[in-house]
Structure 1
Amino acid sequence: MPFALALAFGITALLYASVGFGGGSTYNALLVLAGTDYRILPAIALICNIIVVAGGSWRYAREGCVPWARLWPILLLSAPLAWLGGRIAIERDHFVLILGLSLLVAAILMLTQRESEGQGDHDPRWRWAAPLTGAGVGLLSGLVGIGGGIFLAPVLHLARWAPPRVIAGSASVFILINSLAGLAGQASKIGSDRIGDVAAYWPLVLGVLVGGQIGSLLGARILPPRLIRIATALLIAYVAIRLLLI
């Protein structure tokens, strides 16, 4: 396992954790560029995702920043569809194309995201949009091995769903639940004969564990969230273009 890949995972975890995300989209892209078997890389990315967001989800929930009563309609369809997406087998070229395009969209959403003041969830249209939003993001999440928070958070800001910190907490929980569901689907698809191949990437787990902790600290106490978000979006855009040019 190249040290450079573990270092890249650690830096990615640092950037994403600082804005409340897991990093699954970029983990996938890095694994593709490193020549990893595309059939196992979503499982690797989701494991790393879970490690990064588990602590953040617990911390946000403890601080009362996860509005469970308002979040469950979004999770209602996202988790089962993330599991279904994880079970769908796709060709490598299609996988790379979907991943590259989703990364590019994510970068644009992050760059154009505006902080909200909240309370937009009182709009009656949101009652219908919430499950549909969760369903679409959940299916894509499971298919390419991401948590989906990078797509959900900008939508929630646009809908003025809640203050920024509550949206960050909700996105973190969304990523955790979708990642667990997507990993279950991926595990049933890759089979027991490839579990050893996934386990061989254990240094990446150490990388994201360290990077995620540092990122949470930087995001909470030191660096401005807007600066980190812009830097992360530019990194995502670069990786997306690299993938689309393969």
Structure 2
Amino acid sequence: MPLIVLLAGGFFVTALLYASVGFGGGSTYAALLALAGLDYRVLPMVALACNIVVVAGSTMRFARAGVTPWKGALLLTVLAAPAAFVGGLVQIDERSFMALLGASLVLTAGTMLIPVSRTSEGEASGLARFMPIIAAPLGFLAGLVGIGGGIFLAPLLHLTRWRDARAIAATASFFILVNSLFGLAGQLAKSGPAMFGGAIYEALPLLVAVAIGGQIGSLLALKVLPLKWIRWLTAALVLVVGVRLLAGA
């Protein structure tokens, strides 16, 4: 079976699982490409482009539903987006890139196992006001290795009771979308239009796969499997891939 077909299947499943729990899946897209032996310099470009495809629809749906807390979401994102652009500009060797990507995946698996309440319980904790401080580091990591950062941000927002669950999901989606756009811009500025154009052209089947998987995940997956099962399954898959990358770094 052609490699691109296998990758498209993996990207489809990743998008379905991540979209069903409100995220984009950028780190796992990059990891799948790394395991397939693609040039590590194009991995963030493809991963961030796939992120944008997956979360653009959910961001619009949240906005139309009126659940996005724009003041708080914009504050977090405005601090993170410039750092995502800088992260995209940074030159990094392959060994360091793979180590950072593997560590990001292991941390992603851990965040997915943090229990998430669907309701708001009481007032925000005192730590909630410090959430903007972590926005810039998450943005930098987003641009550097091809993730959106929302999967790390959302659990912290839940733990501090920053907003209710729907508002946090909307904020994470918007955070991922904007960081991915700025990170992709940084990657383009670093690598040039030729490499960027070639990477996106070769990745067209993968972009189609995540578009379909993301829509199915956001609309149907939660009606088929309990949320905690989806999160546990995704965490297990991500952990295996992350450990494999770290072992080879």
Aligned equivalents of 2:55, 2:190: Cα separation in 1: 24
SS at match of 1:20: coil
Question: Contact 1:48–1:205 at 8 Å: present in 2 too?
Answer: yes
Amino acid of the structure 1 residue aligned with 2:86: L
Runs of 4+ in 1 over 6 A off after TM superposition: none
- Using the TM superposition, give the Cα deviation of residue 73 of structure 1 relative to its aligned residue in structure 2, in angstroms: 2.1
Q: Is the 8 A contact 2:150 2:172 kept in 1?
A: yes
Percent identity between the aligned chains? 51
Query: What TM-score comes out, normalization by structure 2 length?
Result: 0.93
Q: For residue 162 of structure 2, what is the amino acid of its counterpart?
A: W
Give the drift of 1:13. 0.4
Pair 170,11 (structure 1): closer, same or farther in 2 beyond 3 Å: same
Is 1:108 the counterpart of 2:110? The answer is: yes
Cross-structure match for 1:200: 202
Q: 1:116, 1:162 within 8 Å by CA — same for their partners in 2?
A: no
Stretch moving more, 165-174 or 17-26: 165-174
1:121/1:174 CA distance change after superposition, 3 Å: farther
The aligned residue for residue 90 of structure 2 is 88
> Is contact 1:19–1:219 with CA below 8 Å preserved after alignment?
no
Pick from 231, 235, 239: which aligns with 1:229? 231
Query: Separation in 1 of the partners of 2:147 and 2:196?
Result: 19
Task: Choose from 20, 45, 67 the match for 2:47.
Answer: 45
Q: Distance in 2 between matches of 1:218 and 1:177?
A: 25
| Partners of 1:220 and 1:176 in 2: CA distance | 22
Describe how 1:1-80 pairs up with structure 2 within 5 A.
Answer: 2-80=4-82
Which of 223-232 and 27-36 deviates more? 223-232
Partner of 2:219: 217
Aligned in 2, Cα 1:88/1:121: closer, same or farther, shift over 3 Å? farther
Question: 2:19 is aligned with what amino acid?
Answer: A
Q: Which runs of 5+ in 1 are unaligned?
A: none
TM-score norm. by structure 1 comes to 0.94
Match of 1:139, as an amino acid?
A: F
**Which residue in 2 is equivalent to 1:157?**
158
CA distance in 1, matches of 2:158, 2:44: 27
Task: After superposing the two structures, state which structure 1 stretch, 160-169 or 135-144, moved more.
Answer: 160-169
Mapped contact 2:31–2:101 kept (Cα < 8 A):
yes
Alignment of 1:101-180 (within 5 A): 101-115=103-117, 117-118=119-120, 122-123=124-125, 125-127=127-129, 129-180=130-181
Which deviates further from its counterpart, 38-47 or 106-115?
Answer: 106-115
Instruction: Give CA-to-partner distance per residue, 1:47-70, whole Å, 9 cap, x none.
Output: 111000000000011112210012
